[in-house]
Each structure stands twice: as C-alpha cells, then as structure tokens.
A and B are shown apart, each in its own frame.
Chain A
Amino acid sequence: MKSTPYYWPAWILLGLVGLTSLLFGAGTLELRQAFAVLAGQGTEEARFIVLELRLPRLAIGLVTGLALGVAGALLQTLTRNPLAEPGLLGVSAGSAFAVSLAILAGASTATLTTLVSQAGALAGCGLVILATRIQGVGQDPVRLVLAGATLSALLMSLTSLIMLIDQRAADEIRFWITGSIAGKNWEQLTTTLPTLVISGFIVIAVAKPLASLALGERVARGLGHRPGLVQLGVVIAVALLTGSATALAGPLMFVGLVVPFVARALGGADIRKTLWLCLPLGPAMIIAADTLSRLLVAPSEMPLGVITALLGAPVLLVIIRTRRIPTL
C-alpha cells in the first residue's frame, strides 16, 4: 500500500469528488447554504437536502464503486483478461434477471433484492467461468467479451420478456434497470453490509495467492497455494460484490472495466496494487458520475447507468484499439 504509486492522490481525488457531490445537486440550494450545512449550520431544508438526500447517495456510491471496482479487478485477474467486467460479461445481467424474476413474483425493489441479486450474479459468474473453459474463448480476451455480450443480451432479452408479460412489474424494472442511486436510504445500504464484509475478508485472503496465480498455476502450486480454492473464492467474492452493487444501484456497466484499467495504468499490473487503487477510484467514478447525472438535466436527473456507460464505452474502445491486448 505504501509502495503503491498514486495511492494517496487517489484518496484525495475521492475526497474532492465526495465533497463536490455534497455541494452540488439538481436543486436550487445555494452553494453557500450547502457549505453552511457542512459547517454544522444551515437551514432545516438545506440540512435535509445535504444530509438526507446527498449524503446517503454519497455513501451508496462509495459502496457500489468499491464493490464494482474490486469485482472488476478480481475477475480480470482470474480470467487473465483486461476486458472481463461484471457488466460486460453478463454477471450484472444475471443479477438483473434474477431481480426482475423476483419483482415479477411480487417482490418490491425496496425489499429482498440483495440476496436474489447475489444469487443471480453467482449464476452469471458460473456461466462466465464456463465460457472461459470453452476452447479458444478463454485465451482470447475479445472472444470472451463476445461470449459475455451474448450472455448479457440473452439475459436482457429474458428480462424484457418479463417486462412484456407483466406491465406492472415493467415500470419498477425499467427504473431499476437503468441504474440509479437516487432515492435510496440508509436501510438499503445496511442490508448489503454483511455480505460486503464477508467478501472483504475473502478478497484479503485471496489477494496474495491470486497474484502468484497470475504467474501460472504451477508457480502458485509451488508457492503452496491451491488454485482451485482461490478461484472459487474469487468467484464467490465477485458474485457477492456485484450482487450487492446491483441490488443497490441496478446493473451498472463499465465501472468494473474503467476503474481497474485506470488503476493498472497508474499502479502496474500487480493485483494487490490494483486492488488498493480500486478502493478509492471505484467510488470516485460512481460519485462523479452520480453528481453529473444530477446536474445535466436539472430539475430532473439522468439515470446513473447512462453516465457510467458514456464514460466507460470510450475506455473499452481504447483498450480494444491498442494493437495487442495485454493478457494479464
């Protein structure tokens, strides 16, 4: 962590982005008022807007960003593919499909979605791993992404099918599927915390073996690690993280791609350094995107998923356009 370049600047960036997100919103609240709230004063309305509308969004952005950034970095190292991203590979789509099924069955977006979403993500992860086992696909980053895109498209069309079957569910699903962290409150955050803590422990446990696994299974075995167990741990962690993030914010594309990409560009390919940098960078991306989503179409708001896709798609193009995709 000390040796990770740009580690502290990344945290400072997150601090600045977080502060900005508290100061700016879709409303007419004056900047001076928002500052006053941060200083512990301000009118009742200003306090409500900053502390009860913007602060929970900041916290949820923090958690989803952390989860998606770390999940992306893990999945990329595991599949040795810089394009492996929960959103692109269908993990998020799996989780979205599961949630849609639950909504169809009568659940409300506010309740019960975390577990369902994580189960869906786990199933999506399983399919990704299966795809990497298919001859040729696992070795070729772009083909893996194509396989993932196919899976995503399939799951998304199944989700659309649910929306067609039940128009009432459609309204709730449509809102949720574009991705947003608006209108969420603390309770929703706390329901995901236990699993986040669990996945945190798993990540700590697998980070070092995963780094040696990157050198090849034989090397990892020689160092006394058990590749199968490590892989299983990573898959579970990715599913828990992506599932939690999706339950909170809907399926957000590209965050798990952009954040580790930037982290590797800054800190080098070692998964441990990447993970350390993902911690501040993931939240910074989501919170910045969320702040933009409030400002672009005020007095309404844009779906967060649209902004992350707008920010992320060019990065995907850059990675693919570089002549040779580095395998991890």
Chain B
Amino acid sequence: MRILQTDFSFRHLLGSLAFMVAMTASLAHADTREIATAYGPVSINGTPERVVTLYEGALDAAIATGVKPVGAVITRGGTGVAEYIQEKAGNVEIVGAPGEINIEAVVGQNPDLILASSRLTEEQYALLSRIAPTIVPDFPTLSPETWKKETRLFSLALGREEAGTNIIDTVEERTLEVAALVEKHLGDTSTNTAVIRWMPQGPVVMSEDLFSSGLLAATGFEVNAADIVKEGRPHSHPLSQENLGMIDHPWIFLATLNADGDEALAAARKSHAFQRLQANRNDRIITVNGQLWSSASGPLAALQILDDIADAMKSRSSATQ
C-alpha cells in the first residue's frame, strides 16, 4: 500500500514534469510572435528587456504598458523627452532626435528591441535592424486613429498586448467623459477651433489630422484649419497676419514651446492682430504645452491632452455663462 502510494506519487511527479516541459515549450512557441512592419515581418522572442524607442509615440506606448525604455529620442523644441512623460521615463538615455538618430548611442544601449516611427528610412532601418529587431509601423503618419494602431503594434512587440488594449480602453473611456464635459459646458454654442503656434510674423496652424486635433474632434470640437495646411504636413507655414480672419474661431488652442504658457500668451498679445481675435477678446485662448500638443502621441499623451481639454472647460465655463 505504502509502496503503491509512493509509486503513484512518483508517476504523478513524472507526469507533471512532462506536462510542465510541454507547457514551457508551447509557451516559448507562443511567445515567438511575428509582427507585420513597414519593412516586412519581424519575429520577436520572449519579453524584451532593453527597449530603445526612436519615436515619441513608442516611448509613450512602452511606458503606458509598463515597460521602461533604456533609450529614447528628444521631443521637438526640447533637450530631453517631453515634459509630460519626463518623470515616468526617469533617466532614460537620449539617443538622438527623431530626424537624427545617433546609431552609436543606440548600439551603446545594447537593445533587444527597437521601436521606431513610420518615418524611419530604409537606410536607417538596414542599420538598426542589425542591432536588434526593429519595429517600424506601417500606418499613415497623420491620422487620428494611428496612435491606437501603433500602441497595439508596440505592445504586441513588447509582449504586453493586454496592457496595450487596456490602456486604449482607458483613453476611450476618458474621451467619452471629456466629451460629455464639453457638451455640458458648450452645449449649443460653436465649438469651432484650431490649434496654433504663434510666431512673430503670424500663426502656424496645426493640421486637422494631427494627434491632438483628433482628440479635440473626439471630444466634440470642430477643428478647422481653414484648408491652409498642405496634405501630409503636420502644420502650415506661418499665416500672414492679414489672414487671421481665416482662423478667427471661438476657441483657440495656443501651443507654446516656452516653459511658461502665460508668457507666450503675453508675447502674442503684443501683436495687434492677435488682440483682434474673438477668442482673445472672449478669453477663450487655451495655452497648452507645444511638446505635448504638437509633437507627442500615444495613450499617456492622449490622457494628458484630454485633461487639458477638461481643465479648459472647467476654467472657462464661468466665462461662458
């Protein structure tokens, strides 16, 4: 009886060992994933540990799904990663600017996965893909839905597909909340708006297809860039001050690269043409961070932009009534 029992437990042990081996093998197999990129399928094994992101949207998606990249590129108009994500990114190593990647710095990080932007050229891809599997998204650069597709792609590459889906759901829920807030505060009044940057000679108007414009549209704003942004460009040339009437919308989101939005607004207000804008006269100019609003993308950036829109509604609602 005792012997039988021992025999049974021994067999049991063997059986579970075999089962575990089989499971591990199948897991390893399931963990090798084939990812469709702009430069063909890339297969990735296991969970990457040392990730270098060469695109702000990739840095954002990685951090949003719980991965802390070891290398990243600077944001537009900055010397490091964008302010909104600085804290979460910690002391990530800077490996260049979006257009000027320092390949040696990338090599120095010894990455096992590189996440790039859809703008990465074939020459750069040829170099980078020799360092580590390189994921280049194949989605249109300027489209409001692109960040979701990219986040799914990057999270799949990172082995964190579920976290990717979750964070997109979170953003979508928050979008609905903010849309309700916009509806509540603006009601039937006009929601025409444009995202601009103010240059001394005139405003630069951001594309309606830009990431931040897409979020504004999703929360109920009517983003109107007056047809002056050329197809495929993120923003217009500086518009002549004589043509400010083209963007004289009830709401203006003023993106600024200066640290202090109020300072930038004060500088813009020195211009007599700016003073005439109805949004300025009605205190409907919302100053926002240019790094976040005109350079960043990804789920965390989306949440921050949605917060900005919600704050604007709360702070300006008293002015509305």
Contacts and interface: CB of A to CB of B under 8 A. Distances in A.
Interface of A: 25-29, 45, 48-49, 52-54, 108-110, 166-168, 170-171, 175-176, 180, 182-185, 294, 297-301
B242 A49 contact: yes
Nearest to A187: B270
Nearest to B199: A175
B202 A183 contact: yes
B236 A300 contact: yes
A25 B267 CA distance: 24
A294 B201 contact: no
Given A168-B257, A182-B200, A26 B77 contact: no
Contacts of A48: 272-273, 276
A171 B237 contact: no
B258 interface: yes
A166 B79 contact: yes
A297 B237 contact: yes
Given A27-B242, A168-B257, A168-B258, A300 B228 contact: yes
Given A53-B273, A109-B200, A182-B202, A299 B77 contact: no
A99 to B, nearest CB: 13
A299 B239 contact: yes
Interface in B255-282: 257-259, 267, 270-273, 276
Contact of B201 (A27, A54, A175): A175
Nearest to A185: B272
Nearest to B243: A299
Nearest to B271: A183
Contacts of B258: 168
B127 to A, nearest CB: 23
B24 to A, nearest CB: 49
A299 B246 contact: yes
Contact of A53 (B241, B257, B270): B241
B257 A301 contact: no
Contacts of A170: 77
A300 B200 contact: no
15 contacts: A27-B242, A28-B243, A52-B273, A53-B273, A167-B77, A167-B78, A168-B257, A182-B240, A183-B202, A185-B271, A185-B272, A298-B240, A299-B239, A299-B240, A301-B202
Nearest to B238: A300
A27 B240 contact: yes
Nearest to A109: B200
B271 A167 contact: no
Contacts of B228: 299-300
Given A300-B228, A300-B237, A53 B242 contact: yes
A26 B240 contact: yes
Interface in B218-248: 228, 236-243, 245-246
Given A53-B241, A300-B202, 12 more contacts: A25-B240, A28-B243, A45-B245, A52-B272, A53-B272, A168-B257, A168-B258, A182-B201, A182-B240, A298-B240, A298-B243, A299-B228
Contacts of B271: 183, 185
B319 to A, nearest CB: 25
A110 B267 contact: yes
B138 to A, nearest CB: 29
A12 B227 CA distance: 40
Nearest to B272: A52
Most chain B Cβ neighbours within 10 Å, of A170, A184, A301: A301
Contact of A183 (B201, B245, B246, B276): B201
Given A167-B78, A168-B77, A171-B257, A301 B238 contact: yes
A92 to B, nearest CB: 19
A-B pairs, top 8 by smallest CB distance, nearest first, are A27-B242, A26-B240, A182-B201, A300-B237, A183-B201, A183-B200, A299-B243, A25-B242
A109 B267 CA distance: 10
A45 B272 CA distance: 12
Contacts of B76: 167
Nearest to B242: A27
Contacts of A182: 200-202, 240-241
Nearest to B259: A168
A196 to B, nearest CB: 22
Contacts of B276: 48
Given A25-B240, A26-B240, A108-B267, A301 B201 contact: yes
A175 B236 contact: no
A185 B271 CA distance: 8
Nearest to B276: A48
